[in-house]
Amino acid sequence: MITDTNDLIAFNQDWMKKYTGQSQLVLKPKTTEQVSKILAYCNEKKLAVVPQGGNTGLVGGSVPVFDEIVISTASMNNIRSFDESSGIFKVDAGVILEAADTFLAEKGHIFPLDLGAKGSCFVGGNVATNAGGLRLLRYGSLHGSVLGLEVVLADGTVMDSMHSLRKDNTGYDLKQLFIGSEGSLGIITGVSILCPARPKSVNIAFLGLESYEKVQKCFQTARSDLCEILSAFEFMDRDSQQLAAKSLKTTHPLCQEDETGVDSVPEYPFYVLLETSGSTKEHDDEKLENFLEKVMGDETVVDGTVSQDETQLRTLWTWREGIAEASQQFGGVYKYDVSLPLDSMYSLVEAVQERLKKLNLSSTEDESKPVYEAVGYGHIGDGNLHLNVAVREYNKEVEKALEPFVYEFVSKHHGSISAEHGLGFQKKNYIGYSKSKVEIRMIKDIKNHYDPNGILNPYKYI
């Protein structure tokens, strides 16, 4: 139990320091039974609670809005079991994602999810938000890899479906209700998940391209020519790489010398980080080499480098994973995580950049402007764009310029306002841009049925 004012700060404030609650109490149960007793009591007394994992969420979903009680799963961090034959992994909700993957690596397996926040985020929180991440192209979403859950409902009832079965066609697949529910229907305390064999051969290619159209063409070729070994296809615009360069302070993978002889970030409009993973190095190397010869031969790609060892592989990934943190270096960031058809995905970034300049809100040079710049990057493989608006300060005028403009654009192009970050507090009032009135009514009906007193993560989601 935590009540000290200073200790409460980390639980009341989100990672971006954008949302801050006033909770006076944090509870850290160690068992599912303790979570059950806590929720039964809170439900009886109508005390609102906020389930919290690693608190790495980006939409204000894991911190209090007012003085709700925080229930942290940090002390529920045991690995329950792992079956090396089937690859079925059972863990407590509070196990850190990176720790889970490290454990599996020793067994020759891999966790089917990878995030930039892997060193801090919890497996339970990943499932509760249906996190997508960097491996979705290869391994699919958590809706497919999670086999079972242990969940405590609002009244303290424990739903134990920690199955080891890959096929079970008896009744509704209830676990799917809780994957992506953001703690609004129950608190996830245990996860059973299918973890594939760890690839023995992994390669990274970091490429420079001259247009977004070339990025799309490169992806089409990668899908057809690399096929089963293609595991990630990430794109980044030039501005995102320049932001990362300011933050990382290391040599860019495609560095060039400027007129003074100093290494600089190249001026290619777009970059691609492409990963292959398979079981035979010689086979994978040959396929990647043939692919690169093809895309560079027809000038789809104009520059590139390939990782030579594990150290360089990790370094190349930092230029993609480091963008999120780099976007905050000037004071703050407005983050938008959307799904759009590939052909219109980057158009949103261009539209936002144009709008901010037209409203005289954006400048990389003039420090009196609230916005530094807007950058775009994301997962081409699943149509997920991350639009980051790096700001010098959080500003109502900027917020009005962005919202609902971003959501209107997404709706017009038949996309989703949340691809993987969830709704939380930030997007609660904008769900109508992605869901019909019938869908929203059904979501509310489910919420009211399983949490009639509205104690679970209130003021968010719906």
What are 121-145's pLDDT values in tens digits? 999 999 999 999 888 999 999 999 9
What is the torsion angle, in degrees rounded to the nearest 10, for the CA atoms of residue 5, residue 10, residue 14 and residue 18? Answer: 50
Same domain, 23 and 136: yes
Contact 338, 410 (CB under 8 A): yes
Entry pTM: 0.92
Q: What's the pLDDT at 177?
A: 97
Structural domain contains residue 179:
yes
Regarding beta strands 270-278 and 303-306, do their DSSP bridges make them parallel or antiparallel, or are they unpaired? unpaired
Cα 24 to the center of its chain, rounded Å: 29
404: preceding bond cis by omega (within 30 degrees): yes
Determine the residue type at 200: K
Q: What's the pLDDT at 260?
A: 56
Mark which of 324, 344, 379 sits at the end of a domain: 324
Q: What's the pLDDT at 381?
A: 87
Same domain, 40 and 169: yes
Same domain, 109 and 16: yes
Q: Please, what is the average pLDDT of the chain?
A: 95
Same domain, 249 and 334: no
Q: Which two tokens stand for residue 57?
A: 């969420």
Q: What's the pLDDT at 259?
A: 58
Structural domain contains residue 243:
yes
Contact 424, 461 (CB under 8 A): yes
Q: Which domain holds residue 46?
A: 1-198+432-456
Q: How far apart are CA 152 and CA 150, in angstroms?
A: 7
Q: How far apart are CA 406 and CA 392, in angstroms?
A: 20
Determine the residue type at 15: W
Q: What's the pLDDT at 462?
A: 84
Q: What's the pLDDT at 164?
A: 85
Structural domain contains residue 461:
no
Contact 34, 40 (CB under 8 A): no
Same domain, 57 and 36: yes
Q: How far apart are CA 75 and CA 13, in angstroms?
A: 19
CATH number where 240 lies: 3.30.70.2190
Query: Residue 372 has what DSSP assignment?
Result: E
Structural domain contains residue 128:
yes
Apex CA 163: angle with CA 158 and CA 164, to 5°?
Answer: 160
Mark which of 277, 295, 324 sits at the end of a domain: 324
Same domain, 108 and 170: yes
Structural domain contains residue 462:
no
Same domain, 373 and 289: no
Mark the ranges of the chain whose per-residue pLDDT is less than 70: 256-264
Structural domain contains residue 215:
yes
Structural domain contains residue 289:
yes
Same domain, 167 and 245: no
Same domain, 205 and 138: no
CATH number where 380 lies: 3.30.70.2740
Same domain, 174 and 231: no
Mark which of 274, 293, 324 sits at the end of a domain: 324
Same domain, 2 and 117: yes
CATH number where 148 lies: 3.30.465.10
Number of structural domains, the chain?
Answer: 3
Same domain, 40 and 154: yes
The backbone region for 108, taken as left when phi is positive above 0, alpha when psi lies in -120 to 50, beta otherwise, is: left
Q: What's the pLDDT at 263?
A: 61
